[in-house]
Amino acid sequence: MCGIIGYIGDKQAQPILLNCLRRLEYRGYDSCGIAVTAGSIEVYKDAVRVEELTRVMPKLDGMAGIGHTRWATHGEPSQVNAHPHLDCSGNIAVVHNGVISNFQLLKQQLTGEGHNFISQTDTEVIPHLIEKYYDGNLEKAVETALRDIEGSYALIVLMAGEPKLVAARKDSPLIIGIGDRENIIASDVPAILDYTDRVIYLEDGDIGIITKDGIRVRRHGTKVNRKEHKISWSVDDAQKAGYEHFMLKEIHEQPKVIRDTLGEYIQAAEPVVDLAVMRGDIESVLILACGTSYHAALVGKYIMEELLRIPVRAELASEFNYCAQTLARTGAIAITQSGETADMLKAMKKLKDMGCLVLAITNVVGSSASRIANQTIYTRAGPEISVAATKSFMAQLMVLYWLMMSYSKVDARRLTDLIMGLRQLPEKVQQVLDNEDKIMEGTKHLSGYENVFFIGRGINFPIALEGALKLKEISYIHAEGCAAGELKHGPFALLSENTPVIAIVAQDNTYEAMLTNIREVKARGSPLIALAEEGDGAIGQLADSVITVPKVDAIFSPVVNTVALQLLAYYTAKHRGCPIDTPRNLAKSVTVE
């Protein structure tokens, strides 16, 4: 989940590396550092954010360098554990994203050979291995060292006196940005947008040799060609554009994201993917995802079962990887924002080995998920910088709605109504955003609590889970999402006047049951905030406060409810003074298991 960067060109490397690291901090921010060479290697690093490092560090001369912003896996955040890491001689520097699973054995062997280690990290074994195998050819030394390594990695190697960088990847993302007499290696696209919109995506097993004038890619000792891609995002897309936080900007971008995602597909004369499950060749569907994407998968289960009338399972990819099961006549959908989530990639490979057809839904063109899948649908959300997912979740929902309607088994009149409702969603979401001030006022009281329950039923049960996740990850309030009918099976024991409950009330077949659950909550003295359609008079008589959302078809209620809960979480976190875009201990792209 760390962010890594490498630069080689005609300009001073230090300011470029630091600028790129700022754009990669969503991948980790507990420490950072850079190494630059102009003969010898100079390193400056500390357990601070990039902005503070920039303010206090000395000038480092050199037109080639590497940088890193860390999400700790091995060793606490500290100056000594921060990257880059050096070999014994101080002539080889490495930055690394991933996990070296056999590092303890390697460290023991290298120590026995006279190598000295100073950090607790797994990464430090890499420069020592390269030093061990170096015989005048850096590229060959890296390739040999990687044969000893087990685990995942995206890494960049800098060596004093070498006019090149060497990069390699396995199970962690790495791109090369192509410039004019300069090239940049990075974990992700936003890092390089100030300098180029032309990229090469390295694949697992690739080793890149990068100079200021050229790029060579080798795989298992043989030269390979990797296609150049042009990035459609602009630098402005990755800026705050006047908003206080990226999260608030990305919440407000959702009407556009809905239009962009639907506009990509809804006008198509025929579906852009050919799902065997929709033709009857497959009897059931498995949807896999992690985190917020898992909540989209759960919503997708409800949509698919209603519109396609086939059995659907939604599972966490991280759990699926450790389950022994046989999947006969099952189609699989993998939902992943980054397309690089380690648990998801492992699950997708497992599915392919089982003979399943896999459809990926992802936001990143050229990502690992798109290369593993049989077919891919892109969500067109643009870059999402805040760690808490908002617009990417919305785009995932849009793809699921469109996909299921494309193969729907409902009657023509119902389908026409659904398509019309889908087209109206940007306007409906904008109405929720226009109600922002009222939602903000309601969060002043909520911010004083330390425990909150979210409850929902049916298609809005996943939205209760998503609302709780958003609140806990950015406000640090302990929040739990719960199926409303399950309160009486244990959670009632936690209800009191100090435990508010947020109830999502939809105008569907769960409505009367939700009213019963709300009465049960009120009988136990908990403050109750209801999220309900405008004009719902019954809710106003039961709840302590009501957040209203515009009327939509019940199947689309997760869309408007999600936006309201995003704003609720955002302003609660703001009242509590939390670092909204960079919550503690978290990172955007989870590239380790």
Q: Write out the catalytic residue numbers.
A: 2, 588
Tokens of 458: 């049916």
Alpha carbon of 379 to those of 28, 261, 376, 405, 586: distances in Å? 24, 6, 10, 16, 23
- Are 85 and 121 a contacting pair, CB within 8 Å? yes
The identity of residue 482, as a single letter, is C
Query: How many contiguous H segments (helices) and E segments (strands) does the chain have?
Result: 19, 25
- Are 335 and 361 a contacting pair, CB within 8 Å? yes
Contacts of 411 (CB under 8 A, 6+ apart): none
Buried b (16+ CB within 10 A) or exposed e, 211-243: bbeebebbeeeeeeebeebebeeeeebbbeeee
What region does 227 belong to: left with phi over 0, alpha with psi -120 to 50, or beta? beta
- The angle subtended at Cα 79 by Cα 76 and Cα 84, nearest 5°, is 100
The identity of residue 420, as a single letter, is M
Q: Which residues pair with 165 in a beta bridge?
A: 158, 210
SS3 of 128, please?
A: helix
- Are 587 and 338 a contacting pair, CB within 8 Å? no
Three state DSSP letters for 209-264? EECCCCEEEEECCEEECCCEEECCCCCHHHCCCCCCCHHHHHHHCHHHHHHHHHHH
Tokens of 590: 């989870």
Tokens of 574: 């703001």
In terms of Cα–Cα distance, which of 99, 44, 101 is closest to 68?
Answer: 44
SS3 of 509, please?
A: coil
Cis peptide bond upstream of 527, omega within 30: no
The identity of residue 186, as a single letter, is A
Tokens of 252: 């407000």
- Phi, psi dihedral angles at 337 (to 5 degrees): -60, -55
Tokens of 126: 């890499």
- Are 233 and 382 a contacting pair, CB within 8 Å? yes
Alpha carbon of 421 to those of 110, 268, 396, 402, 414: distances in Å? 64, 18, 17, 11, 11
Rounded CA-CA distance 349/321 in Å is 10
For residue 57, how many other CB atoms are within 10 A of its CB? 16
Tokens of 255: 């009407």
Q: Number of C-alpha atoms within 13 angstroms, CB side, residue 560?
A: 32
